[in-house]
Structure 1
Amino acid sequence: MTVIQANADEELNKQQQKAPRRRLQDVMDLAHRLLAEHELQNWRISFDHARRRAGLCNFSTKTISLSRHYAREATFEHIKDTILHEIAHALVGPSHGHNAIWRRKAREIGCSAMRCHNLTFTKARWIMTCPNGCFAVERYRRKSGLICSSCKHNVEFAPAQDDA
């Protein structure tokens, strides 16, 4: 990493509390810089509305997509690592998933090579429960027609309580 890049990274860290629109632009700028650095000129960057995954590499459209929720909430270091994670996928191709070839490339370009993040950047809107008490889990979406695998009763959805 050059001194200029380190200074740019430090400056972006100082501005974590920027307005969301400016923050997304900073993330977009970083992503474009990293794409150019790794010679992926034909690839695009976009934001999506994912609530559980941070990034996605789409080979058919040559697009790296980042969750806007994640980009607003995660630290700059996590965001950079996610972008590098997706760039590693783009560099090794679609047949490698998270195998040893992908991990080697990810580490080579400065990524932690972690397969998944453990950040919670959005709250689930629903609690899905079995009326007989078999389970209760958080869900981001409601889905009709689900049944409990233990007792075979229809599951119920209730709004999640806001901790605020």
Structure 2
Amino acid sequence: MRRVLILLAPIAALAAGLAAGLAVARRRLVVVRISGASMLPTYRTGDRVLVRRTTGAGVGRGQVVVLQTLPPGGEWRTGPLPAPGAAMWFIKRAVAVPGDPVPPEVAGRVGASPGDTVPAGRLVVLGDGPVSEDSRVWGYVPFDRVLGVVVRSMSPVRGSGGVAGS
């Protein structure tokens, strides 16, 4: 009996460690399913991406971000973000971060003059596709509306014969 308990102790410790690791991963990582054409050709409807949670402060120029949708009325919400499964989210590419020049296609929307830079606490995001609702419509995105950055695609490579999961 003693030998059995000695063998089970490391297994129980391993299981507890694995459970703790999964809990941490679930708080830090989210899987998001793409719907819409704003990120074509990079992502298509049905593609899934793995997102590392961070605020806008953790976003670099060129990274793809997932952010809260702008509510009707056009004013960004404040306060905590909703749970990932409880809201709709946008996926866009960060094209300018604080201190970067304001892109010309957004300057009119945000009232920027030539040479102005993106203010602290804000991002400029654009879709990769030709049709996208993004900073050209909304203006700057507040850091606290960012769910996270895409770390990898979880969908099969096109042409491989695989089917994107739901």
Question: TM-score, normalized by length of structure 1?
Answer: 0.28
Normalized per residue, the structure richer in helix is: 1
Q: Per chain length, whose mean CA-contact separation is higher, i.e. which structure has more relative contact order (CA < 8 Å, sep 6+)?
A: 2
Question: TM-score, normalized by length of structure 2?
Answer: 0.28
Normalized per residue, the structure richer in strand is: 2
Larger Rg: 2
